[in-house]
Structure 1
Amino acid sequence: MLIGRASELTVLGAELARIEAGHRLLHVNGPAGIGKTTLVRHFLSESLVASLTARAAEEESGLPYGLLAQLVADGTGPELLQNLLRQVEDRPLVLVIDDAQWADGESLRALAFALRRLGSARLLTVIVTRSGTRLPTTFEHFLRDAHTVRLELPGLRPAELRELADALGTGPITARMAERLHAHTGGNPTHARALLARYPTDVLDSAVPLPAPPGYPVPALTPVARTLVEAASVLGVTAPLSLVAELADLTDPLPALDEAVAAGLLQERRTVGALGVHFPDRLRWAAVYHSLRPAARTLLHERATRLAGTEADTLWHRMQAATRPDARLAADLAGYARRQATNGHWTTAADHLAHATHLTPAPSLPAGGAGPACLLKAELVEALLADGRVEDAAALSAELADCPDPAVAAYAAGAVAHVADRLPEAVNLLTDAYEECGARQGDSSEPCGSWRADSSRLSGWAGTRLALLHLLDGRLAEGLEWARRVRTDLTGLLAFGATRHAAPLGRAVLQIWTDDLANGRHVLGGLAARAAELPVPARIAALVMLGQADHRLGDWAGAQAHAEAAAALADESGHAWLAGWAHATAAVVAAGQGEQARAEAHLRTTGTSALARVHLAWAQACLSHAQGDHGAVVAALMPLEATGRPPEPGVVPWPDLLAEALVALGRHERARAVLDRVQEVAEARQRHSALAALARARGVLHAALGEQETAEEWFETGLRHAGKVAMPFETARLQLAFGAFLRRAGRRTAAADLIELARTGFEQLGARPFEERCTQELAACGLNRRQDALGLTPQEQAVTRLVATGLTNNQVARELTLSVKTVEYHLSHAYTKLGVTSRTALAALVARGLP
């Protein structure tokens, strides 16, 4: 059973394809159990080429020509090699030498001699060796040839270990379990399979160190050396020798260390003035650690708590020494977790909260009381979501459905529903949790003290989520009312759960949306450099806003990188409520660059919040606008217009797109209504980016109505607003629209100057569809400064390019403001010059870059 290995199979397939040009040599190397033989066997089973395989055995390494005898039935000694060569010469072949480190020297020397002389043979030789072993010197030199392709086989990735667990029927295991299994086994499929088959999967999700696979050997040692190694295992994979010796109560640990190193159980790590010890891998450490008797192991952990140098180490040893629930230890773990969360260390915080829940006693409670463990689990749900472990949070939330307190159960379920983008369900559950907490706090019959404090914290979490949910669903008044109840503000909400960096992140979001682009981008760049300190939702938000800032500022490569990183993180972490926002931002950038397939892939994402719906509609409109499909722009954006709520200027710039598309479809009064509804708010906010876009759309509208003086005034107003905010794309769009207007008014020289500026701007951005429109407009001006090598006039070039996109003559005439007869005239001349007689042939020429 082969799991993963797609890239390795690609390498093997590529080498096989090259044998038509001569002999190819590939060396596959990796540790025992990593899956080398499984990989090669799977490759051979999928190949249509004949193969010969020999596998060496350690016990036969002294048998002369034993390996060659597996490949050829007849002959002895050197005759075997001659018979093998005859087989190689007859047909394409894959020759596999597995476990070559155990092969006899005679066979390897003979093979090296022969294979060096098979330059033209259609042969792929695959040599498989185990890491850490040696081959005969002559064969080592042969494998070091510059033409040898080397394939080091790594362990399986965590996602592939989850696939392995499913295939074995021992799964499913969570992403966190898979990560723990990967850290323990290095992804070695043999060791992972042995652990999965022997132990229940919940072992992977506990605080107890994972065991070694069954039967993993521990070499025999003298009692003193074993005492040293056992003490080292209690301190972890790596520890200072002085600390190990103190725990083992050894005055002189060096002789014991010598023995442990010789046995392969420990390695020394020496620095100036210090000596440490290290287990070569976690499996050897686990084998020693789990060979300790429970009483001895517990005693060593108790002693280690007095020697530990950090709070984390002390807590770890206290946990391993605990044999029953311990309220004090649970409180210490929870306190440490909260401090880690404040510093942005969410994985550590969630892990320690999980440990605290296991160690919290279950006291007798009055009816309806939640108890400390239940409340800690609600807090753990919050930490898991912040750490991007949505799957684990959902499992814990399901467990909390049986919690005796309805507020805790509702909060946990509501928080999970929120991140899963089930927003109506989330609002109902979180509201229930908030109201239940409020009722409890006002009920004098309820026990006071810690429960009152915990209830207040729970209501705060629920209220904060409700504030953010309402805000991102476009219900600003409700969102701010919830924010007031939980004593936060808009900046705090827009931090997306960040604590340590809440103010900078929330402020940066508002700065981008209010045209303070440079300062907002600077803050976001600093936060991105410390992304590991942010909860996953805040990390996604920071990347999305970086993408939007870069897009507006003109760094479209940076915008694409940041937006796609945000989308990938949202998908991988399970934060579906932010995925639509992230994918839409990436789609907008791709659409502007003319990358239709890339944009459409991002637009396959869905979202239920207004944040997602508005951004996805805007992104779809941007793609349709880039394609010149005015009807599709209107179809994408009219649902937003139909809500009746004027959009906040500068957040999602869609009204100008809708108005321009409506104008193109002749719906002038509807376009005017769209613009009027936003204009007053934009002017009140003095949002220059929005005012520039609206002025462009108004210029287009008045031009279509034949009101040339008013149109020109609006275009000039737009350029003045664009000059007050650094947004190259918006400036170039204004220049193009203004230039097109001037061309239609007969002012061709002035038009060409503006359009040339726009084309330069689009070219620098990589906005290919818009650069193409500039080329068409310049051609229609008759003043295109970039000459056509095939002798087409500018007008002919403009017509041919539009015809090649599939437009009819009538549509081309409308686009270029020409008569249909003029279009037909230019098209017939272009056909003659280009030597084509059909629109299909013309489109093929344009597809190849001509004209």
Structure 2
Amino acid sequence: MTERSSTLIGRDTVLAELRDQARRVGEHGSRFLLLTGVSGCGRTALVERFAAHHDGPVLRAVGASWETTRDYGIIDQLAPGAVDVSDPVAAAERFARHLAGLAGTVLVVVDDAHWADEASLQTLASTVRHHPRLRLLVVATAVEGDTRVPAGIGALLRRIATVEIPVEPLTAAEVAAVAASFGIVLSPPVADTLCRHTGGRVRYVRELLREVPRRTWSRFDPVLPAPAAVSARVRDLLADCSDAARRFVGAVAVLGPAAAVREAAALAELGDEEVLDAVDEACTAGLVVLTAHGPAEISPADSLVRAAVLEIMGPAAAARAYRRAADLVDDRVRRLRLLVAASFAPDQELADRLDAVAAERAAEGAWAEAASLFTDASRLTEDRLLRERRLTRAVDALIGSGDAFGAAALVPEVESLRETPLRNAVLGYLAIVRGRAAEAEARLDRAWELVNVDRDPDVAALICQRHVLHALVRCRPDELVAWADRAVTLAGPDAPAGIEAAAIRGLGLAARGRVEQAKAAYATLADRVRHGAQAQRVLMGRGWLDLTLDQVDDARAALETAVPTTFSGGSTRISLWARAWLARAQFLAGEWDDSLRTVAEAATLLDRTGIVLAGPLLHWTGATIHALRGQWRQAERQLRRIDAVPQEYELMRLCACLARAQIAEARADAAGVLRALRPLAQGWITTHLDDTGSWPWADLYAHALVQQNRYTEADEFLTRRENRVGLRHSRSERARLAAARGRLLGAQGDLDRAINAFDRALTLLADLPLRYDQARVNFAYGQTLRRAGKRRDADVALSTARELFAGLGAATYVSRCDRELKAGGQPGARADTELTPQEQAVSQLVARGLSNREVAAELYVSTKTVQYHLTRIYAKLGIRSRAELAALWGRAGL
């Protein structure tokens, strides 16, 4: 298998730095660059790529471990016979004279400079320092972390280097790109596995992609070997070790990372004196490393060395060692894993033990560990029906842990099994997290049709709990509560299915208007489920509810706690939802930089897990912030990520609509807002969706109707919404609707009632930490007052809005506030003094390319008013077209 591309993936930044340093040679004189990185990180390939495009002479030398004591060995490679002195300063003079006859910038490449002789390095350093006009660029590469390298040479290299450039390991995404160049598609989890196994070292990534059978990469849990070259090196190192050291290295490989030295010694059958010598010998050889955690712990040097050692031991010897090791360790799960590693044939007794522990871990919500244990139990089970059930449970646990890619890799195998209620429930669960609503509904309905509730209540409860998730993202609160109640009844309140259903049930209650009941349910559940992975689910659900009730600080605290997956193996799926809602909470509280960081972190997790269901919710927040900051390319990028997956679920479509509407509003495109929100206004989502007002779309729609002069429609729409508003609605939703009503009343000329509506909106928001909502209401208030001729009052509202928007970094609205203030006559406007403030604002927007309708929406005036001002502007400035106006503004630097 060969690579299809010669691109150095993930190395653009380093290559750019090398090119920049080469340019500096011409400006500032000779330089010495040091490229450092772990063995196999691709230093040599990088320098060779750089040298291949260098416009000038290139001299090369390579260090070797057996030549470190040969003085001037490197210099002799670069300039054979040119230096025959014993003093590095004099040698530098001779070497400089040799280089003086070469034209252009001379590139000297010293690969593996950590094995260079000291005299040569001193000569190169003196040449760079004392002959800056030579236009000499020395690029040396050196390995990090190799204990065999003389310490003095490493220190010397760092002392003489002008610049040190680290070559970092590849990321998982870059590893996937390398695999793609081989024609191999890696799922994000498998790319992450390969990245961790190789330490991101590109040499070993490429070697494994060439050596490992292609079918291995389609597995969700590939067991990867060491590259042949690593195995050969480890074999040579072991051959040079004593028998005691070899046995000790083998024991450490069997026990795995962070093993106690005493365990390794016992497994290797070494006495106290022998083990000290063995540890020292193995560490010196670079086969093991001591760790700093707790009592003396030791680990294989890395995953590749461990794989090589186990391969060299052979299957039989390794299996015997695994069984002996299982008798030495105390941890139950670790003991079982060692026994699994020793098993090459079905073992019913071991499979049953694995299944029992897996069920316990699943009951605690530790799905990742449960998935691994169920998978091992399935592999060791001979009975076909039992094996199929355990494999199906493994897939279910993988989904629960958030590994949709790993679960999807097993789908062909699961689909080939006989049809059972559990099989359909698991495949329906996977369809949910992958955003496939129709498939999920069909699978779950079929599972419920097949299950015998009396004979198999646990599976029936599991199906109910999956229906709860499905109803949640379909925005069907009545169904959600009904299925949750069934799940709790069938499983019991303390069973996993019962707890998970209860953790979501409160959201359904709130959506039905039973907010107090929902809050009480979460309080009871939180008291009962305080620890473990299930607590993560409760915290996420409670944080979601708090956010819909304007309890932003409480929501943020709960969601921040639900983000980590350290809850005894907590779910990545729950963590992803918690991050999506945390980003929303941070946005509402005005912590936009934190919100964008949360979005970025969650987006990486989203890509790695394959849980597309949460994507639109996450990217809606990112798109909103970027649009409000005028970062249009980033906003559109977020929107493209939303559109990259089918939006079958109502929750996904809702967030997509809101993202488009927010971008359109930030662009002052009222018609675009109406287009984006039309599906919501037409009611394709159940009316229960807005019973808490948790989705801020109605005011966007109403404001846009007013800006389009569709007053009758706006009045009818707001009346319908207001008739449904009660105390169960959040204060923020009532404030938003009041502000929209104020804008409509102002547009209709009823200023007194408009002022009352805006004041009511601001009162509702007064003690809430919703800075963006406060800014929006003040902005609409100021626009309305300015249009009514109340310039002084308008300035107060607009200045308040501007200050709030500026604090958030909402550049689009800061500019809009400035234009409103100028149009109102506030001093400081930059424009031709012949124009009135309103004419200045109109002319600036027209010069930017906005149509009359868009200018009218931006300034909150009619299109006739815009045309009137435009006619006067043309007459005052002596121009006849929009193009001339744009040119005039351009010359003015405005």
Q: Fold match, TM over 0.5?
A: yes
1:393 matched to 2:411: no
Letter in 2 for 1:569: L
| Structure 1 contact 809–824 (Cα < 8 Å) conserved | no
Letter in 2 for 1:566: A
| Structure 1 contact 100–129 (Cα < 8 Å) conserved | yes
Q: Show the counterpart of 2:311.
A: 290
Q: Show the counterpart of 1:592.
A: 628
Following the alignment from structure 1 to structure 2, what is the Cα–Cα distance between the partners of residues 58 and 272? 33
Deviations 1:715-743 (A, max 9, x none): 33323333364422222322222232222
Counterparts in 2 of 1:273 and 1:342: CA distance versus 1, 3 Å: closer
CA RMSD in angstroms, aligned pairs only = 3.6
| Structure 2 contact 779–817 (Cα < 8 Å) conserved | yes
Letter in 2 for 1:746: G
Match of 2:713 among 670, 673, 691: 670
| Structure 2 contact 82–98 (Cα < 8 Å) conserved | no
Question: Can you give the 5+ residue segments of structure 1 that lack an aligned partner in the other structure?
Answer: 364-370, 443-451
| Structure 2 contact 188–608 (Cα < 8 Å) conserved | no
Q: Which has the higher contact order (CA 8 A, sep 6+)?
A: 2
1:243 matched to 2:244: no
TM (norm. structure 1) is 0.87
Counterparts in 2 of 1:748 and 1:831: CA distance versus 1, 3 Å: farther
Question: Can you give the 5+ residue segments of structure 2 that lack an aligned partner in the other structure?
Answer: 1-5, 85-90, 489-497, 509-531
Counterparts in 2 of 1:682 and 1:137: CA distance versus 1, 3 Å: same
1:396 shift after superposition: 0.5
1:192 shift after superposition: 4.1
Q: Give the secondary-structure state (helix, strand or coil) at the position aligned to 2:259.
A: strand
Match of 2:61 among 54, 67, 74: 54
| Structure 2 contact 283–289 (Cα < 8 Å) conserved | no
Q: Which 10-residue stretch deviates more, 494-503 or 521-530?
A: 494-503
Letter in 2 for 1:97: V
1:357 shift after superposition: 1.8
Counterparts in 2 of 1:711 and 1:330: CA distance versus 1, 3 Å: same
Letter in 2 for 1:730: D
Q: Give the secondary-structure state (helix, strand or coil) at the position aligned to 2:749.
A: coil
Following the alignment from structure 1 to structure 2, what is the Cα–Cα distance between the partners of residues 840 and 271? 67
Letter in 2 for 1:55: V
Q: Which 10-residue stretch deviates more, 489-498 or 240-249?
A: 489-498
Q: Show the counterpart of 1:189.
A: 202
| Structure 1 contact 28–151 (Cα < 8 Å) conserved | yes
What is the count of residue pairs matched by the alignment?
Answer: 821
Match of 1:689 among 732, 739, 742: 732
Letter in 2 for 1:518: D
Match of 1:519 among 554, 557, 571: 554
Q: Show the counterpart of 2:25.
A: 19
Following the alignment from structure 2 to structure 1, what is the Cα–Cα distance between the partners of residues 866 and 197? 75
1:718 matched to 2:718: no
Letter in 1 for 2:553: A
TM (norm. structure 2) is 0.83
Letter in 2 for 1:38: A
Following the alignment from structure 1 to structure 2, what is the Cα–Cα distance between the partners of residues 421 and 492? 18
Q: Show the counterpart of 1:30.
A: 37
Letter in 2 for 1:86: A
1:459 shift after superposition: 3.7
1:179 shift after superposition: 3.5
Q: Show the counterpart of 1:565.
A: 601
Q: Give the secondary-structure state (helix, strand or coil) at the position aligned to 1:29.
A: strand
Deviations 1:671-692 (A, max 9, x none): 2222122222222524321121
Q: Show the counterpart of 1:322.
A: 343
Q: Show the counterpart of 1:476.
A: 477
Following the alignment from structure 2 to structure 1, what is the Cα–Cα distance between the partners of residues 65 and 565? 52
Letter in 2 for 1:349: A
Q: Show the counterpart of 1:780.
A: 823
Residue pairs, 1:387-786, within 5 angstroms: 387-438=401-452, 441=453, 452-453=455-456, 456-487=457-488, 491-492=503-504, 499-528=534-563, 534-604=570-640, 605-606=642-643, 607-643=647-683, 645-646=686-687, 647-648=689-690, 649-683=692-726, 685-723=728-766, 725-782=768-825, 784=826
Q: Give the secondary-structure state (helix, strand or coil) at the position aligned to 1:116.
A: helix
Q: Show the counterpart of 2:329.
A: 308
Counterparts in 2 of 1:272 and 1:417: CA distance versus 1, 3 Å: closer
Residue pairs, 1:118-157, within 5 angstroms: 118-131=131-144, 132=146, 134=149, 141=156, 143-145=158-160, 148-157=162-171
Q: Give the secondary-structure state (helix, strand or coil) at the position aligned to 2:239.
A: coil
Q: Give the secondary-structure state (helix, strand or coil) at the position aligned to 2:668.
A: coil
Residue pairs, 1:68-87, within 5 angstroms: 68-72=75-79, 77=84, 81-82=95-96, 84-87=98-101
1:586 shift after superposition: 1.4
Counterparts in 2 of 1:650 and 1:563: CA distance versus 1, 3 Å: farther
| Structure 2 contact 563–576 (Cα < 8 Å) conserved | no
1:418 shift after superposition: 2.1
Letter in 2 for 1:36: R
Q: Show the counterpart of 1:44.
A: 51
1:796 shift after superposition: 5.1
Q: Which 10-residue stretch deviates more, 51-60 or 746-755?
A: 51-60
Q: Give the secondary-structure state (helix, strand or coil) at the position aligned to 1:410.
A: helix
Q: Which 10-residue stretch deviates more, 805-814 or 752-761?
A: 805-814
Q: Show the counterpart of 1:161.
A: 175
Instruction: Among all aligned residue pairs of Structure 1 and Structure 2, give the percentage whose two residues are the same amino acid.
Output: 29
| Structure 1 contact 592–767 (Cα < 8 Å) conserved | yes
| Structure 2 contact 96–131 (Cα < 8 Å) conserved | no
Following the alignment from structure 1 to structure 2, what is the Cα–Cα distance between the partners of residues 271 and 595? 46
Following the alignment from structure 2 to structure 1, what is the Cα–Cα distance between the partners of residues 320 and 151? 49
Q: Show the counterpart of 1:366.
A: none
1:516 shift after superposition: 2.6
Q: Show the counterpart of 1:331.
A: 352
Letter in 1 for 2:42: G
Following the alignment from structure 2 to structure 1, what is the Cα–Cα distance between the partners of residues 426 and 606? 20
Counterparts in 2 of 1:388 and 1:80: CA distance versus 1, 3 Å: farther
| Structure 2 contact 565–575 (Cα < 8 Å) conserved | no
| Structure 1 contact 491–502 (Cα < 8 Å) conserved | yes
1:285 shift after superposition: 3.6
Following the alignment from structure 2 to structure 1, what is the Cα–Cα distance between the partners of residues 293 and 395? 45
1:403 shift after superposition: 0.4
Deviations 1:159-213 (A, max 9, x none): 33344445456x4454444434433332333344444444446498669684564
Deviations 1:107-161 (A, max 9, x none): 444333322223234332111233435579699546513x622133343333333
Letter in 1 for 2:763: R
Deviations 1:343-396 (A, max 9, x none): 554433322222222122225xxxxxxx22222222222222233322221110
Counterparts in 2 of 1:230 and 1:738: CA distance versus 1, 3 Å: closer
Q: Show the counterpart of 1:447.
A: none
Deviations 1:516-546 (A, max 9, x none): 3332223223323567754222212211212
Following the alignment from structure 1 to structure 2, what is the Cα–Cα distance between the partners of residues 173 and 614? 32
Following the alignment from structure 1 to structure 2, what is the Cα–Cα distance between the partners of residues 116 and 139? 19
Following the alignment from structure 2 to structure 1, what is the Cα–Cα distance between the partners of residues 283 and 715? 85
Counterparts in 2 of 1:312 and 1:87: CA distance versus 1, 3 Å: farther
1:600 shift after superposition: 1.3
Q: Which 10-residue stretch deviates more, 681-690 or 656-665?
A: 681-690
Following the alignment from structure 2 to structure 1, what is the Cα–Cα distance between the partners of residues 299 and 866? 84
Following the alignment from structure 1 to structure 2, what is the Cα–Cα distance between the partners of residues 172 and 139? 39
Q: Give the secondary-structure state (helix, strand or coil) at the position aligned to 1:97.
A: strand
Following the alignment from structure 2 to structure 1, what is the Cα–Cα distance between the partners of residues 751 and 135? 75
